[in-house]
Chain A
């Protein structure tokens, strides 16, 4: 078995250690004897997402956002739209998650159109939602408890009929108001969690890998791994967050 991973915009969307998710995906495939091929597709690179099973988009700095949007509208946006509808698996984090939605409206009211692959939108707020947090994935997202670090001023709201990834147990999540965190649409997983999210949450990582492998091979059985160190780091944070 093999899995083709496309790391979108590693050149500009690489803040907060999110690239660690790629390291994690690759290792957990490697430890099970599954080949992974990672392609980095940055600004100006042409890419056909039909060739890939799993797409990753991380968070970035505001400084490069204009460059990024220009590039998206030169072809990658339509590639992403098609791949989403085709059931390809996406893991999108923070800025990358927001980008999958319809738009971002700044606190001052300036609207910036995004890809529109998932019916959600984000509104800038004057306060930053920052800190360690945790959420429980819904049952159809594996049901695991995820610990992570959020750092965003945008509040994200999901459209009618769009399901969140999970329910916030401590922290802010999508908007700090409705208790939702992230999104799951077709096989798109969106979350605000940095950390990076996957290494400390191996169940969530494996759920995503499972989804991508099933889409490609029809069915897939992931061998369990030891995960001693993973569980240690996860449990310490799970206990600490919200304990105060």
Chain B
């Protein structure tokens, strides 16, 4: 075993160095070959590391960064897969780089974001101390299949690590159902009904019927998508009480939110240094996981007020007179959240939507018709221009036209250099909604223009 670990680690480090010289990100490829040489490599290298793993459809990266910030503030020396390589290959690369060739870890803590489809393979090897599951929404159906299938993948993965403490989103009936069939200790976080002012009911829900008995759920309140205070009138399955609960929203601005939270019985007013409701969920999840990893309460709370996510998640660029923000979108639930954020900022803006259909984005782009772009019509006067771009710019242009945006305002620009020029010329804030690979490409152009770090650095 020792010799296998040695050679696999050596190979991995060699490939990583080559990739680096070749100026390629190279975060997944080295791990992939190393695992071929030693299939248990991750298990061996993670054995003496305290790991918190984060999975779920939306909010993985943001939640991971929040937990990282808490680790940072607590002075813990940790590793993480910041590059976004969140399959078993990329995660393995990170652990190899953290270990000596004999397999001993250099740093003893890790914050690991894990793709929900990869969870099945990863969790049993990683044996995390804490697993945070953010939520489950329909996402890239061509890749993940139905949302219940994704839930099954996570459940299978968790079966390999029965001692992990699960931090589950209480408001997501799919996520919290993980507790039904697993022996793991579970804690819950969520937004209480007291914090929710009435909002319109979403037109599409990914979980209308009880996961246990298929009776239609009743709701005391909804926060967004299918999240909220659900209960099944037939079998009694219901939203569990939240151990970490958002009890009131004090203030929401274009840059941040201030909320009251009850955190395992202790009350705090928490500033979240990111706007929008979904980031309030990410914050509550991150605090829950950080506490379960032993981070002191006030350290975890102050980290949220300080942290900066970057990497396409509300990432700011100094471009154009009003600045530019990038907000990654991957699926209808996340996209609807960005749209409702845009509805709430009270100023004129220019919107840029970059739609790609590469395999990491999902080759089926039909989800843009599930997202409620029609709501943009309500704020049509505040939208100066809409630029559409990406490999499926034509589809996005069509979506905007049918959403009721004035076709005169819609411009199609598939050349990123020219697109960045157009953004730089805007007099109002620019908001970019890119899919994953569009974010990577466009970000390179923006960084070249405005400065910043490449993702593998």
Contact = CB atoms under 8 A, between A and B. Distances in A.
Contacts of A27: 402
A19 B209 contact: no
Interface residues on A, range: 35 or more
A61 B395 contact: no
Contacts of A10: 203
Interface stretch (A84-92, A97-105, A195-203): A195-203
A151 B364 contact: yes
Interface stretch (B85-93, B138-146, B274-282, B426-434): B138-146
A192 B208 CA distance: 24
A196 B209 contact: no
A63 B399 CA distance: 29
A230 B204 CA distance: 25
Contacts of A11: 205, 208
A63 B402 contact: no
A77 interface: no
B370 A233 contact: no
Interface string B250-292: 0000000000000000000000000000000000000000000
A16 interface: yes
A27 B412 CA distance: 21
B398 A67 contact: no
Contacts of A12: 208-209
Contacts of A237: 394
Contacts, number: 89
B148 interface: yes
B370 A19 contact: yes
A199 B398 contact: yes
Nearest to A66: B214
Interface in A9-38: 10-12, 14-20, 23-24, 27
B213 to A, nearest CB: 10
Interface string A40-58: 0001100000000000000
Contacts of B365: 149
B402 A23 contact: yes
27 contacts: A12-B208, A15-B141, A17-B366, A17-B369, A18-B366, A20-B399, A23-B374, A23-B403, A62-B146, A63-B148, A64-B209, A66-B214, A132-B363, A149-B364, A149-B366, A151-B141, A194-B364, A194-B366, A196-B366, A199-B369, A200-B395, A229-B397, A229-B398, A230-B398, A232-B397, A236-B394, A237-B394
